[in-house]
Amino acid sequence: MGTIRTPRDRWIDEGLRALARGGPEAVRVEVLAQRLGVTKGGFYGYFRNRAALLEEMLDTWERGVAQDVIERIERDGGDARERLGRLFDFVGSAETPVTDAGVELAVRDWARRDEGVADRLRRADNRRMDYLRRLYGAFCPDEGDVEARCLITFSLRIGDHLIAADNGPRSRADVLAAVRERLLA
């Protein structure tokens, strides 16, 4: 009977979790192996080195926050408002290492210090904004209105996790529902 190897995607997911906890410096093979409950030897069956893992983590993140989300939303069809509604629901509830807000923020922080990461971030952000433009543009005739709605939507995705302010007598969920209603009007 052969040795059962830890799947490649588990190494990537655990790397993304480490990135969210402590930035790229926290992505260490030995630490990941401990968290996975395996020896670090299996790591080298998939990755040449730590840099290769970091590249695959970024590939996974970039694909996961843009292409995979778009494909998921498009799969069920519907008009632009229906697709935006599904997008809001999905982004608000997705609990995977790729869609974790901590990973998003860690990638953004990393991009401030690494031009290659900054290029990936810009590409992913542009892909997401282009998708939003297409959806809002289907029912908003004014280009300025489309751009404003896109920026508000995207800013909520990135910034909602950073805002600690209370919402007066309303819950955050109530306020986000009101924002959603206005954006889809």
- pLDDT tens for 42-85 read 899 899 999 999 999 999 999 999 999 999 999 999 999 999 99
40 near 30, Cβ under 8 Å? Answer: yes
What tokens were used for 55?
A: 């590249």
User: Within a domain: residue 121?
Assistant: yes
User: Within a domain: residue 175?
Assistant: yes
User: Within a domain: residue 179?
Assistant: yes
Q: Quote the pLDDT of residue 2.
A: 45
User: Within a domain: residue 47?
Assistant: no
Q: Quote the pLDDT of residue 39.
A: 86
Q: Which stretches in the chain have pLDDT values below 50?
A: 1-3
Q: Quote the pLDDT of residue 119.
A: 98
Q: Quote the pLDDT of residue 5.
A: 61
Q: How many domains does the chain have?
A: 1
User: Within a domain: residue 37?
Assistant: no
User: Within a domain: residue 96?
Assistant: yes
User: Within a domain: residue 18?
Assistant: no
User: Within a domain: residue 131?
Assistant: yes
Local structure of 164: helix, strand or coil: coil
Considering only CA atoms, which of 51, 52, 132 is closest in space to residue 87?
Answer: 132
Q: b/e per residue, 87-121, with b = 16+ CB within 10 A?
A: bbeebeeeeebbbbbebbbbbeebbeebeebeebb
| Torsion on CA atoms 127, 84, 96, 173, rounded to nearest 10 | 130
pTM to 2 decimals? 0.90
Quote the domain boundaries for residue 102: 58-183
